[in-house]
């Protein structure tokens, strides 16, 4: 099977995400990554929780958004509204409680986990990296690998 490609947009802030989020009622599901997407790498727990909860509140308030999921592959960090150990990109709609026809938008910093989750779910990927300078070598290497596969899975806009 030749996979169909999904749109990728490079964005630089949550304001950009809000501008691109569908605003027709009846809505989309936004799936956010947490680390280096909503919170800088290694953020203290109280700051991390405030940023994650703030983003959920902000995007849940948009009329075109049915549901906001924050999904990290990392550990639980005392934020009950976040789903930890998320097994991206392999998690399923069923595991996330999503119907087959919900429209999905994924927002994240890593093509290999967040981006491929968007691709598997057939929705656009908004590529948001908030702290490229502060990230660990492993994260940077993973992003480099992600660049190599981008053209296979995504069509670029702007």
Task: Give the footprint of Mg ion on this chain (CB under 5 A).
Answer: 33, 35-36, 109
DSSP alpha helix (H) spans, 44-115: 45-60, 93-96
Only one residue has tokens 């639980």, namely 76
Q: How far is the CB of 81 from Mg ion (least distance, A)?
A: 17
User: Which is nearer to Mg ion, 43 or 98 (by Cβ)?
Assistant: 43
Q: How far is the CB of 144 from Mg ion (least distance, A)?
A: 15
User: Which is nearer to Mg ion, 36 or 91 (by Cβ)?
Assistant: 36
Main-chain phi, psi angles of 70, to 5 degrees:
-110, 120
Q: How far is the CB of 86 from Mg ion (least distance, A)?
A: 11
How many helices (H) and strands (E) the chain has is answered by: 5, 7
User: Which is nearer to Mg ion, 11 or 64 (by Cβ)?
Assistant: 11
CB 113 within 8 A of CB 89: yes
């Amino acid at each position: 099977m030749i996979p169909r490609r999904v749109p990728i947009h490079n964005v630089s802030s949550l304001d950009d995400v809000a501008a691109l989020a569908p605003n027709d009622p009846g809505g989309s599901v936004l799936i956010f990554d947490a680390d280096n997407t909503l919170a800088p790498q290694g953020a203290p727990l109280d700051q991390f929780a405030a940023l994650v909860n703030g983003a959920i509140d902000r995007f849940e308030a948009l009329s075109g958004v049915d549901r906001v999921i924050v999904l990290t592959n990392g550990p639980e960090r005392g934020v009950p509204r976040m789903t930890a150990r998320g097994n991206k990109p392999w998690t399923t709609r069923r595991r996330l409680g999503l119907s087959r026809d919900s429209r999905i938008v994924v927002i994240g910093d890593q093509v290999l986990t967040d981006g491929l989750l968007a691709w598997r779910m057939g929705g656009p990927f908004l590529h948001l990296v908030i702290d490229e300078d502060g990230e660990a070598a492993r994260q940077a290497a993973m992003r480099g690998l992600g660049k190599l596969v981008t053209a296979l899975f995504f069509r670029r806009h702007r």
